[in-house]
Structure 1
Amino acid sequence: MHRFRQVDVFSAEPLGGNPVAVVHDADDLADDQLAAFARWTNLSETTFLLAPTTPEADYRLRIFTPGGELPFAGHPTLGSAHAWLEAGGASHSDDVVVQECGAGLVRVRRGQRLAFAAPALQRSGPPDDADLDRAVAALRVTRDDVVEAAWIDNGPGWLGLLLRDAEAVLALDPDFARFDELKLGVAGPGGAADLEVRAFCPQYGVPEDPVTGSLNAGLGQWLAGRVLPTSYIAAQGTALQRSGRVHVTAETDGSGEVWVGGDTRTTIEGTLSL
């Protein structure tokens, strides 16, 4: 038997964010059990808390979609930190929890709401013409509709596209058959917050993710302090009748750090038998 929590992430409203399933003390579970349970929950991500392998970390996390394992993801990071703390986890620091995952060590800051430090981009810069053509075809828009585009890949493989406004983002009707391996994050200023965001990743078994921490981390590293203020709120999930709100802050102390925060609350608590 394992303790289990399902945590709603990135919304102050009940059932307004993105749920993550969190299994505690999962060190005894085999890889095929982890993958099978993630497929069974059919959530965008399911996570498993394990003992860390390095003394710098407070816990280790494995993150699964219905389609496979991820080195890093944002809303599972916040939801899992929430579950670990709620279950009595004691971090080395009173202010920061350190998570070990496939992408390395990720710091999660405690405060009014949990916030993670955006990991370094593994790929950045503008896409080539072929990738941009594939992206606009998958979104059923034209290149003239795209204000800017850039790789903002911090693990999942995001290609970011900035459209003219929130209305253009909400009007998207993607052709998911044309995505192949593309994972597209689309944003436009305005709407219900400073920025409207949508995340399309059909390869993970979830065509549109409700609220996406890793994507918003990449968008913050790309746009904060340049196209957007250094501190802003992104809305995501509007098209899916969710009320996700992502709080993004780019430090102005020269460190270049971007913090991505959101509200977290446990909605289901119990035990799991596999």
Structure 2
Amino acid sequence: MTLRRYTEVDVFSPTPYRGNPLAVVHDAEGLTGEQMQRFAKWTNLSETTFLLPPIDPGADYRVRIFTGSEELPFAGHPTLGSAAAWLAAGGSANSEGIIVQECGAGLVVVRTDGRRFIFAAPPLTRFGPVDETIVLRIAAALRIPREHIIDTSWLVNGPEWIGVRLAAAREVLALHPDPSALGDLSIGVVGPHPTGHQTQFEVRAFIGEDPVWEDPVTGSLNAGLARWLSEAGIADRRYVAAQGTAIGYQGRVHVDIEDGQIWVGGDVNHCVTGEVDL
């Protein structure tokens, strides 16, 4: 066992403890994947990351990302939280304001102004229509009539999200999914707020695992939604999405599309700093 620097950060909210928490283990050399997975399960957070020296010479650091049950090649709030924790612990980027993270999905560029961190969304590995049998299953899981679902799309960029579009944010906020019908599906639901609202969209993410749970704020899902909504002509080139409202959080996801590249960002608050014996 070795004492290692340990950080917990809150991602995607301007207000500490109202976003999505992330555990970060620094200087994780020597840990096996099994040890990382066991610790990630123990933290009982949606994700735990482990920072390592990069293999690719173009990266500033390397990260491994674990949920309580599996390793992910990429995830949004772990990317932003890891970059912020790495920088706060003394990390020095090769380019000012630009951090290059190496992960299972390859190299991910992260920009920062010191508080807000923004990642360049990796390309979707699956994007397109969802089979009608799955859509019917989704409608049953969300406890809504099939005709209330305007459109669906696969939005896979690591996590296997299915995007579901409803007519209005109020419909998104009113959802009470049926856990027994969700199964292994990961569903991201989005609906627009009225003109003049402080955010353009309301987003909710339901993860079909045991137990079923709702993610407070989800970077990977919002990256996929940004492509889907922008290509459909529904989203502005720059917008803010709210997430977590229905479960008492204040997630704010900032999306900016520049020359076809989707940038997804949010505030990162440092909440816990110490050591872990691991």
Partners in 2 of 1:204 and 1:229 — Cα distance?
36
**What SS class does the counterpart of residue 130 from structure 1 fall into?**
helix
* TM value normalised by structure 1: 0.96
Q: Output aligned runs, 1:52-201, within 5 Å.
A: 52-111=54-113, 113-190=116-193, 193-201=199-207
Greater shift, 106-115 or 22-31, is seen at 106-115
Change (3 A) 1:20 1:205: farther
Contact 2:179 2:212 in 1 (8 A): no
Which runs of no fewer than 5 residues in structure 2 stay unpaired? none
Amino acid at match of 2:273: E
Which runs of no fewer than 5 residues in structure 1 stay unpaired? none
**What SS class does the counterpart of residue 119 from structure 2 fall into?**
strand
Q: Which runs of 4+ in 1 moved over 6 A?
A: none
Greater shift, 135-144 or 19-28, is seen at 135-144
Partners in 1 of 2:65 and 2:212 — Cα distance?
15
How big is the shift at 1:56?
1.0
Contact 2:98 2:111 in 1 (8 A): yes
Percent sequence identity is: 55
Amino acid at match of 2:141: A
Partners in 2 of 1:26 and 1:224 — Cα distance?
38
Partners in 2 of 1:204 and 1:52 — Cα distance?
34
How big is the shift at 1:202?
3.2
Change (3 A) 1:137 1:174: same
**What SS class does the counterpart of residue 220 from structure 1 fall into?**
helix
How big is the shift at 1:181?
2.2
How big is the shift at 1:2?
0.5
How big is the shift at 1:228?
1.2
Q: Which residue of structure 2 lines up, in the alignment, with residue 241 of structure 1? A: 248
Partners in 2 of 1:206 and 1:91 — Cα distance?
38
How big is the shift at 1:145?
0.7
Q: Which residue of structure 2 lines up, in the alignment, with residue 263 of structure 1? A: 267
Contact 1:4 1:22 in 2 (8 A): yes
**What SS class does the counterpart of residue 160 from structure 1 fall into?**
strand
CA-to-aligned-CA distance 1:123-179 (integer Å, 9 cap, x gap): 001111112112111111122111111111111000000101111001111112222
Change (3 A) 1:192 1:244: same
**What SS class does the counterpart of residue 90 from structure 1 fall into?**
coil
Amino acid at match of 2:222: N
Alignment counterpart, residue 214 of structure 1, candidates 201, 220, 229: 220
Contact 1:66 1:204 in 2 (8 A): no
**What SS class does the counterpart of residue 57 from structure 1 fall into?**
coil
Partners in 2 of 1:232 and 1:172 — Cα distance?
23
Q: How many residues get paired?
A: 271
How big is the shift at 1:71?
0.9
Greater shift, 257-266 or 137-146, is seen at 137-146
Partners in 2 of 1:186 and 1:177 — Cα distance?
18
RMSD over aligned Cα, in angstroms?
A: 1.3
Alignment counterpart, residue 34 of structure 1, candidates 33, 36, 53: 36
**What SS class does the counterpart of residue 48 from structure 1 fall into?**
strand
**Alignment pair present for 1:15 and 2:22:** no
Contact 1:65 1:204 in 2 (8 A): no
How big is the shift at 1:27?
1.4
Partners in 1 of 2:18 and 2:83 — Cα distance?
19
**Alignment pair present for 1:25 and 2:32:** no
Partners in 2 of 1:86 and 1:204 — Cα distance?
35
**What SS class does the counterpart of residue 13 from structure 1 fall into?**
coil
